[in-house]
Structure 1
Amino acid sequence: MRYPGLPRALPRFLAELAVENSRDWFEAHRDAYERDWKAAGLDLIAALGPLCQAGEPRLEAVPRIGGSLKRIQRDTRFSADKAPYAPMLHLVLALPGAEKHRGMHLVVHPDRLGFGAGHYGLGPQALARFRDRVQDPEDRAALLAAAARAEAVGSRWDAPDLKRLPKGMEAEADWEHLLRRKSVILRGETAGLPDWLFTADCLAGLDRLIAAHRPLLGWLAR
């Protein structure tokens, strides 16, 4: 079955939700949510499934809310921002067995497309192994080459978590930022929403972004 693209009504729904962002407004527009957000998101994930399984490393496209489709409801318990909804369509294509900590993210905002990949929040053992791998010249070169593939489509490294190198570690200036990280993430966004998202070219366009970040995910999976 040929995938026709996301519904063109989706950006309007997201833009209006961003402005109103109340439970009363959401309930009054539940039909649009069910059709232009929920059904559209699940259909896109299902369509991406074969592409996610065809490449290396394989990614999991789970067509359910809480699977590859992040909930539109926000957890506001520990946030100063009490807006109840996230005005975005957020897909997470995770590495098998990695839950959502390692994977590819695709985020449709009202006015732009966000994308990125990596591993958020390395635990103590994973962080120690990452630092060991970074200090190996061949492994480090492979990581930087993988990052360059993602950078070619507009992704950039997140800012390092630490201001200084960990105690006892040394590095050259061109890669010392790697040792100051507790997460390994590159991300970017488009200037405006690409029209191809809403056409039969949608899968090809998203597959290009996924393919550019696959080397990074492959490095993390090893």
Structure 2
Amino acid sequence: MIKQTSLDFLSNLKLNNSKEWFEQNRDLYENYRSDILQLTENLLKELSKIDQEISQANLDPKKCLTRVNRDLRFSKDKTPYKNYVLVVLNKNYPQPNKAGYFIHIEPDNCSIGGGVWQTSSEYLKKIRQEIDYSFTDFNKILTTPEFQKTFPNGLQGVGKLKRMPVGYDETNPASEFLKMKGFCTKEPLNDKLLTSKDCVKTVMEFFKTTKPIIDYINKAIEYDE
């Protein structure tokens, strides 16, 4: 679980997104960051019990968190800080294009899931090839009662092609998935869950259910022809 004060910090940061306010409240930021790090450590510990590759990756919890500072180089929005944090548990760090687990923590806009939201053209080609080759296995994961109950929004991603990618026919039974540019589960997460004693347990239930998709995607990415 995390403390309500951590969510309050993010809410206040959204309302007071300036370097002056941030420096005046740096102690609150340090407490917030420590709290999120503790949650990340707890999740890594539990996830390592069910995902051997995460266990062997020896991930540094500090590197599993997005930085609070925003990259302003190419943005019209010049507010200096992110009013959210993304916790990414990815065995291939620092290669985020591969599949991993995530929690997006932002007051009234939290979410959870896993997979690849966006990836390279090379990896996308490999994922599409695997779906085409073993669509029965892929579809079996998505149609289990547990998956459909946990992730009613199915797979999502950064976008979708209007037409089939080159080399695939519209009659392909996997056509709607082959048009996708990302393959990620993503569902809303209630703020109260994150501050409850059942936080880690419930998050792990999401992770367990999305693990087969993560394994499938990474198998496709890592396959050498």
- What is the TM-score of this pair, normalised by structure 1? 0.84
Deviation at 1:13, TM superposition (A): 1.0
1:132 aligns with one of 125, 129, 133: 129
2:154 aligns with one of 131, 156, 161: 156
Q: Aligned residue for 1:68?
A: 64
Residue identity matched to 1:85: Y
| 1:87 partnered with 2:83 | yes
Deviation at 1:172, TM superposition (A): 4.0
CA contact (8 A) 1:146 1:213 kept: no
Residue identity matched to 2:44: G
| 1:42 partnered with 2:37 | yes
Bigger Cα displacement from structure 2, 166-175 vs 50-59: 166-175
Change in 2 beyond 3 A, CA 1:80/1:116: farther
Number of aligned positions between the proteins: 211
Distance in 1, matches of 2:105 and 2:35, equals 12
Instruction: Tell me the alpha carbon deviations over residues 181-203 of structure 1, each in whole angstroms, 9 at most, x when there is no partner.
Output: 2322221213x41x232233221
Bigger Cα displacement from structure 2, 150-159 vs 160-169: 150-159
Residue identity matched to 2:50: G
CA contact (8 A) 1:45 1:62 kept: no
2:22 aligns with one of 23, 26, 29: 26
Secondary structure, aligned partner of 1:182: coil
Q: Aligned residue for 2:119?
A: 122
CA contact (8 A) 2:117 2:156 kept: no
Q: Give structure 1 stretches of 5+ with no counterpart.
A: none
| 1:54 partnered with 2:49 | yes
Q: Give structure 2 stretches of 5+ with no counterpart.
A: 220-225
CA contact (8 A) 1:57 1:214 kept: no
% identity of equivalent residues: 22
Secondary structure, aligned partner of 1:91: strand
| 1:220 partnered with 2:178 | no
Distance in 2, matches of 1:111 and 1:141, equals 37
Could you say which structure has the higher helix fraction?
2
CA contact (8 A) 1:116 1:185 kept: yes
| 1:181 partnered with 2:160 | no
Residue identity matched to 2:188: E
